[in-house]
Amino acid sequence: MSSTLPRTMTAIRKLHNQPGLWLQEDTPVPGIGPRDVLVAVTHAGICGTDRHIYEWDAWSRSRVVVGITTGHEFVGRVVAVGSAVTRATVGQRVSAEGHIGCGVCQPCRTGNAHICEKVDILGIDTNGCFAEYVAVPEENVWPVNPDIPDHIAAIFDPLGNAMHTVMAAGVSGRSVLITGVGIIGLMAVTISRAAGAGKILVADVSPRRLELAKRLGADVAFDSRDENWSQRARAETHDQGPEVFLEMSGNAKAIRQGFAALRNGGTAALLGLPAEPVALDLPNDIIFKGATVLGINGRKMFETWYQVENFLLSGRLQLDQIVTHRLPLADFERGFKLMQAGEAIKVVLEVSGSRFQVSSCEAAAVAR
């Protein structure tokens, strides 16, 4: 193994305190601790979060350490395992959960590590997967079913966000409103349809995304710049409003209009992140409605992952129209530009490498 696992690799890194990301060819291959595994990445998805880091917005500047390798959505093969690893094996094709829990807090110890207060996130707090190799804790590894293709396995992370939101809210036999049909909103449309939703309503500012949402199963699309779409949403649902409201825009106005539309007794699941505080009319939006509002963060570890696998294998999800571009890792800038131009929905980067040859024992030896 020492002959086959290189000491350096290509990685996309935040090298400077300014907008942009940089490809660096001589990045050290990450070391692994006794409970970690090293994965040779084959495909990685570009997330909206990566775009924030690329554009170096206020949030990124306050959170991300300069020097980090970015990226957190990927699939690849295990090439080395730490000395105390018992549950992963070299050669496994895996994705991984990007939320790394502390393991000792109440959420971590009760199956809710996705809301650990001290969570580290791959590609934000630790070196990520826009690279030939990435190290992750054994507990975060997810073996990928062989019937699931690479470009889909690479986006389990955002698909899991959408799945968690839809499943937490519960859409079967209920009408659904989705505000914001970007990547995750569109995924939520196809998942909701597959999960037995009744009428699906969507609202967004982009006619193009609304059109795609309809192709994926939305029944009614509203231009959210229309002041009255909230009333129209009620009119479309027996004048009582949708029973479920999935918020994926992070836009304050959309949030308020979504709550205004929501049926009494309905469920709102909030995933989108507003940049500023949002003034809510609590009595009318939530209290008198007897509404249930769910904050959605990450993916349930690993209940959501099992759901994603089961939905994918049932063949009901339409994801091919969502993965609009597949580019070589070195072309990452084109990916970001396509996203900025609104031409791409989800971009998957392909890591050509495949330079690795693995054997279990040596891998462990080298991995130190």
Q: How far is the CB of 149 from its own copies (least distance, A)?
A: 18
Q: How far is the CB of 88 from its own copies (least distance, A)?
A: 9
Question: Which one, 35 or 232, has the nearer CB to its own copies?
Answer: 35
Q: How far is the CB of 331 from its own copies (least distance, A)?
A: 32
Q: What is the dihedral of CA 10, 335, 271, 216, to 10 degrees?
A: -130
- Asked whether the beta carbons of 175 and 198 are under 8 A apart, the reply is yes
- The 8-class DSSP code of residue 19 comes to S
> Is residue 99 annotated as a catalytic residue, yes or no?
no
Catalytically annotated residue among 52, 89, 292, 325? 52
Give me the amino acid identity at 310. N
Q: How far is the CB of 4 from its own copies (least distance, A)?
A: 26
b/e for 43-80, b at 16 or more Cβ within 10 A? bbbbbebbbbbbebeeebeeebeeebbbbbbbbbbbbb
Question: Which one, 13 or 114, has the nearer CB to its own copies?
Answer: 114
Round to whole Å and give the CA distance between 138 and 41: 16
Residue 219 CA to its chain's centroid (Å): 25
Q: How far is the CB of 354 from its own copies (least distance, A)?
A: 27
> Is residue 49 annotated as a catalytic residue, yes or no?
yes
Q: How far is the CB of 225 from its own copies (least distance, A)?
A: 22
- The 8-class DSSP code of residue 122 comes to B
How far CA 201 is from CA of 183, 184, 193, 272, in Å, comes to: 16, 15, 11, 17
208: closest CA among 125, 328, 321, 300?
A: 321
Round to whole Å and give the CA distance between 277 and 252: 8
**Element holding 324 (H helix, E strand):** strand 323-328
Give me the amino acid identity at 200. I
Round to whole Å and give the CA distance between 131 and 277: 36
**Element holding 201 (H helix, E strand):** strand 200-204
Round to whole Å and give the CA distance between 357 and 2: 10
Catalytically annotated residue among 10, 27, 42, 49? 49
Question: Which one, 66 or 282, has the nearer CB to its own copies?
Answer: 282
Q: How far is the CB of 229 from its own copies (least distance, A)?
A: 20
Question: Which one, 127 or 192, has the nearer CB to its own copies?
Answer: 192
Question: Which one, 174 or 209, has the nearer CB to its own copies?
Answer: 174
Question: Angle at CA 16, nearest 5°, toward 13 and 18?
Answer: 115
Question: Which one, 180 or 335, has the nearer CB to its own copies?
Answer: 180
351: closest CA among 134, 73, 130, 39?
A: 130
Tally of CB atoms within 10 A around 277: 7
**Element holding 81 (H helix, E strand):** strand 73-81
Question: Which one, 111 or 342, has the nearer CB to its own copies?
Answer: 111
Catalytic residues: 49, 52
